[in-house]
Structure 1
Amino acid sequence: MRTILIGGMAALALALVACDEDAEAYADEDSAVGLVDDEGDTEAEEDTDAEPGEAYDDSRYFVVLDGEGLGIVRRSDVAVTVLPFGTAADHVAATLAQSIGAPRGQESNDECGAGPMEFIDFGPLTINVQDDVFVGWWLRGDSDIATSDGTGIGTARAKVEALDGYELYEESTLGEEFTITDSNDGVVSGIFGDGDVQDLWAGTSCVFR
């Protein structure tokens, strides 16, 4: 697995590392984020431990949700793999499979407002694909996956409302919809249900309003 770094997403991923209660057990002064340039050359070592189809083991990796894509953090050396929107979908799917387990299924919908879209299901996390490109993600169901500020399924409404960039979308027909805009203008959207977060998504989605 190649480890990459782009703009603010890597900083967000590392912020979640800092908040993780086990991070200090894995990080030391020599820990570093690998870099990859536009040609794909990398300074990080390949991850030879992870096998495609391995069951999700959050003692080794955790996923960071972001308004600009996804991040995967390897706890052993705090290496951050960033998967921004616009990345080839095959690469994103393969990286997720090596990190959190093989996809459980794939569907498509030709009637999405943004155009035909495919969906690759990794359990509670789904990635949205258009023209073989990763364009969005959706999180629902029982999951510990979260954004760098800790927002995930089940997060209390009051905690979300206190976040910088929070805004309630009062004209939504989906329910109590909200958005969180970060300092890099990345936007995560979600739905409240029974006083806490029920769904989260970002990027191009297939939402029928």
Structure 2
Amino acid sequence: MIRIASLTVPMLLAACSEAPLPNAATANGTVAAEAVEDDSEAVADNMAAPMESAEPLLNIAPEALSLVDPRSGRTRQLAFGTAREITLTGATAALGKPSDTGRNGECGEGAMEFVEFGGLTLWFQQDKFVGWFLEGAKPKLTTATGAGIGSTRSQVADALAISDVPDSSLGREFATDKGDFSGLLDGAGDGAKVTALWSGQACIFR
């Protein structure tokens, strides 16, 4: 797994929503979650309330993860800044037990702890969720618009305003215009496929 020198985006307060989503499923069958407004005081209560399904689905998002109830389409947003315990409770409910945990003391923003769920790595600093990194085929996760590992550059660009990052030491790198979502491609052109995605303080060494 790539560990990159820390890429920082603005930290958001934890957010949540139980409103039904207008587009609860993507073309590949993945339930999708939309961004919601910040409401940090409601996170703990929202996470404690039982979902209709004991196994929510998980989606990646710029500056967040989203839990989605497959029965109702309700979503709970785990934005950067959410407490580690709340974040891991949600991720474990969706993905099962972590495959690895550890600490990296050489990140650009200071020492960070990580928890891995197969190809998804969650990063924490001072017991707060600060970033995620995704690579590999499992778990199969996408954004609300269906972008994930294996998507083409044109598919990502149709949903997100992206641009190439010049002279990246990681390879063919792209980022959203706001800088809150980044990824790697296996080649040039619209047909190039995504091999990695990340957001926030992902401890990636360049």
TM bracket, shorter-chain basis: 0.7 to 0.9
Question: Which digits, 9 at most, give the CA deviation of each residue in 1:47-99, with x for residues without a partner?
Answer: 3863xxxxxxxxx5322211121001111111211100001111101111122
- d(CA) in 1 for partners of 2:105 and 2:77? 29
Secondary structure in 1 matching 2:86: helix
50, 70, 73: which one aligns with 1:46 = 50
Secondary structure in 2 matching 1:120: strand
- d(CA) in 1 for partners of 2:144 and 2:98? 23
Identity %: 33
89, 94, 102: which one aligns with 1:107 = 102
1:205 aligns with 2:202: yes
Matches within 5 A, 1:162-177: 162-177=158-173
- The structure-2 alpha-carbon separation of the partners of 1:66 and 1:174, relative to structure 1 and needing over 3 Å to count, comes to same
Give the deviation of 1:19 after TM superposition.
Answer: 3.0
Give the deviation of 1:163 after TM superposition.
Answer: 4.1
- The structure-2 alpha-carbon separation of the partners of 1:43 and 1:155, relative to structure 1 and needing over 3 Å to count, comes to closer
Matches within 5 A, 1:6-17: 14=21, 17=24
Q: Which residue of 1 aligns with 2:10?
A: none
- d(CA) in 1 for partners of 2:22 and 2:144? 6
Q: Which residue of 2 aligns with 1:30?
A: none
Secondary structure in 1 matching 2:146: coil
Give the deviation of 1:36 after TM superposition.
Answer: 7.2
Q: Which residue of 1 aligns with 2:133?
A: 138
Aligned pairs, how many?
Answer: 181
Question: Which digits, 9 at most, give the CA deviation of each residue in 1:110-167, with x for residues without a partner?
Answer: 0011111111011121100111110000111004201112110000123224444111
Give the deviation of 1:5 after TM superposition.
Answer: 2.2
1:128 aligns with 2:123: yes
- Residues 127, 134 of structure 1: 8 Å contact kept: yes
Q: Which residue of 2 aligns with 1:116?
A: 111
Structure with larger RCO (C-alpha < 8 A, sep 6+): 2
- The structure-2 alpha-carbon separation of the partners of 1:196 and 1:161, relative to structure 1 and needing over 3 Å to count, comes to same
1:78 aligns with 2:112: no
List runs of 5+ in structure 2 lacking aligned partners: 1-14
- d(CA) in 2 for partners of 1:122 and 1:155? 20
